[in-house]
Amino acid sequence: MSLSLTKVTAAAPSDWDAIWQACDYATWFHSRAWSEIWSAYQKGRTRPEPLLATFSDGQRAVLPLTARPTLRGLARRYLSSPGGTYGGWISADPLTGAHAALLGNFQTQDLGPLEWRLNPYDPVLREVPVPGAEPDDTHAIDLRPGFEAATRGRSKANKAARAGVTVVAAASEEDWRAYFALYEKSLTRWGGSATSRYRWPLFEAIRTHPTSGARLWLARFQDQFIAGALCFYARRHVVYWHGAADEAHFELRPVNLLMQEAIRDACGRGAVWFDLNPSGGHEGVRQFKRSLGGESLPSPVVRVRGNWKTGLRQTWRRLFPLRA
């Protein structure tokens, strides 16, 4: 009996949360919180619209989609995950290549306009070719050998520690605003080479969201913060998503110390991967991540265009969900 996709309906928040928490290859970017944070930041111009897919063998998967309504709400442009981060399905059930192929076909052929960065931690997805994927990668540190092995031979953090730099977790809005000030200084330094520019409301939405999935690490030197690293936490995966530093203190290597302590914390949590995130085409950033021990993992990006027929199919599917 051949496998088929028998039902695709809106996913309840409880299903999304439960499956995300149980999925070994899920990242923070697959969580309901991440979609809600971006919806708040963009003042409702995007919103969570997850789908729950059920197969003929009873297995289920969530597509943690974020939608941008178009054509006065008649159609949708989908982000598999906001901010160019890892998307795709998550599941608490064991899936095979056949399940992944059906889900991939649904996302690329039936869903409509879509941006999808493939999840490098999904073991089944590696077996399924995705047509039109644009090559890209991330760098990540395998934590399974333990903290000492993951950081062995990378002692630049020692310079910061010897100079008196300490690492703390942000504990107040004032701490977060101090980090944002560092980020603004970094944007000035980067100029036109910056691949993204975020406003304070995004960091405020992260800080105030009622989950514990984010931690802002700060490097302190002589009673001031000189660098920071914002990390997100999932079941087996920790990601260093955003960072900034004061160039006046680069010689102290505060970012190396931040990474060392964040990696130590991730190991203590039982994480398998410490993800350094894609590098946006910046070779210097890639070199820094390799110096930390990051290995390259493929994370291609798929962009699907739509047309007026797509809008009709989307409207029809919302009125009459796919059912067995």
Residue-wise pLDDT tens digits, 238-266: 999 999 999 999 999 999 999 999 999 99
Q: Look at residue 227 in the predicted model and tell me its pLDDT.
A: 97
Those residues whose C-beta lies under 8 Å from the C-beta of residue 2, and which sit 6 or more positions away, are none
pLDDT for the residue numbered 310: 58
The percent of residues in the chain predicted with pLDDT above 90, rounded, is 78
Buried-exposed string 136-175: b where 16+ CB fall within 10 A, e elsewhere: bebbbbebeeeeeebbeebeebeebbeeebebeebeeeeb
The answer to whether residue 320 scores a pLDDT higher than 80 is: no
Report CA dihedral (206, 299, 110, 6) to the nearest 10 degrees. Answer: -90
If you search the block for the tokens 């998503």, which residue do you land on? 241
- 107: number of CA atoms within 13 Å, CB side? 35
Q: Is 5-136+300-319 a CATH 3.30.1380 domain? A: no
Domain ranges within the chain, ordered by starting residue: 5-136+300-319, 141-298
- pTM tops 0.85: yes
Calculate Rg over the CA atoms of the chain: 21
- pLDDT for the residue 324: 41
- Report residue 282's pLDDT band, with 50, 70 and 90 as the boundaries: confident
Instruction: Please tell me which residue, 224 or 291, carries the higher pLDDT value.
Output: 224
For residues 299-312, average pLDDT = 76
| Residue 14: pLDDT over 50 | yes
Give the whole-number percent of the chain exceeding pLDDT 70.
Answer: 92
Bridging pattern class, strands 237-245 and 273-275: parallel
Q: Reply yes or no on whether the pLDDT at 112 is more than 60.
A: yes
Angstrom distances, CA of residue 87 to CA of 228, 251, 305: 26, 37, 17
Q: Pick from 103, 31, 128: which is nearest to 322 by CA?
A: 103
- CATH architecture entry for 141-298: 3-Layer(aba) Sandwich (3.40)
Q: What is the pLDDT of residue 228?
A: 98
**Given this chain, do its domains 5-136+300-319 and 141-298 carry the same CATH topology?**
yes
pLDDT of residue 322: 60
Query: What are residue 205's phi and psi, to 5 degrees?
Result: -65, -40
User: Residue type at 2?
Assistant: S
Q: In which band, very low, low, confident or very high, does the pLDDT at 312 lie, cut at 50, 70 and 90? A: low
| Predicted local distance difference test score (pLDDT) of residue 94 | 97
Q: What is the mean pLDDT of residues 30-56?
A: 97
Between β-strands 137-142 and 166-169, what pairing exists: parallel, antiparallel or unpaired? unpaired
With bands split at pLDDT 50, 70 and 90, how would you rate the model's confidence at 156? confident
